[in-house]
Amino acid sequence: MNCAEYKCFIGFNGDIPSQFNPARAFKKLIDYIKKSNRRLKTVVQDKVLFRGQIAGKDLILTALSPNDATINYFQQTQLKELYNITGGIEKSITKPEPNLQSIVSLLTIEDFGVLFGADLELTKDAELGWQGVLQSKMISQKASIFKVPHHGSENGFDKDIWNRLLTSNPNLGITPIKTGRTILPNPTMINELLNYASNSHITTNPYTDDAPKHSHDVRRAIKSTKLNIKKLSYKLGHIRFRKDFSACTLLSCELFGTASHLSELVVV
């Protein structure tokens, strides 16, 4: 997103006051970063983002995406968007396949690996999405822990690709989503994930309707503020994996709040 095309896209559209404007959120982020005097690190495939040590062992965090093909595809997409907007062909701002730009990263500690799947999806192109991740030259270790991509949706699941990146029966961590009628993971994927890895956990059950109801006085107070306040669709939980590398202990999993084993998820 550091290309000239994207900077122009933000410049053209960053101030359009619409909740459906993706450029507006990025402009806020860019402005915040400028004020904080933080330094940005550009991420590309096979770039080492962090090196350190834990218990005398090398700890390395490496980006597995985006690759060159993804970056080129994104730049061409933004160039087309700019042409459409400046040429007056369309007024709306679209978000073409935003998850293809997700940053997948691999944390390795000698023979132990943790894979962070972000929101990356599968594509029919051999160089984009999860297929592009397999082009990495830095995958030296299969991961025992996997943050499942895109809330456990079908478009991020591929057994053949996962088998090349993960150990047998890995520990899966899933963050669900509930927006309107969309709930992920769906019942089919819950079974798929459990069949793939028995050690699957989820931060909360999105199928329960346990959001507390506001009283009449609270609703009236919110309305008087003229603020757009949105209630969370469900409570949040926390999955924590631990391993003592100084003592070579086995991996443990701790659950907090509404987090549970995926098998306990009840679909109603």
Q: Dump pLDDT digits (tens) for 27-62.
A: 788 888 889 988 878 899 999 999 999 999 999 999
Taking the CA of residue 138 as centre, how many other CA atoms within 13 Å lie in the half-sphere pointing to its CB?
A: 22
Which pLDDT score, from 0 to 100, does residue 233 have?
63
Which pLDDT score, from 0 to 100, does residue 230 have?
72
pTM value is 0.82
Which pLDDT score, from 0 to 100, does residue 89 have?
47
Per-residue pLDDT of 137-154, as tens digits, reads 999 899 999 999 999 999
Which pLDDT score, from 0 to 100, does residue 109 have?
95
Question: Cβ distance 255 to 201 under 8 Å?
Answer: yes
- Integer Cα distance of 143 and 168 in angstroms: 9
Largest CA distance in the chain: 64
Residue 116 has pLDDT above 90, yes or no: yes
Q: Which H/E stretch holds residue 33?
A: helix 22-36
Identify which of 93, 64, 69 has the alpha carbon closest to the alpha carbon of residue 6. 93
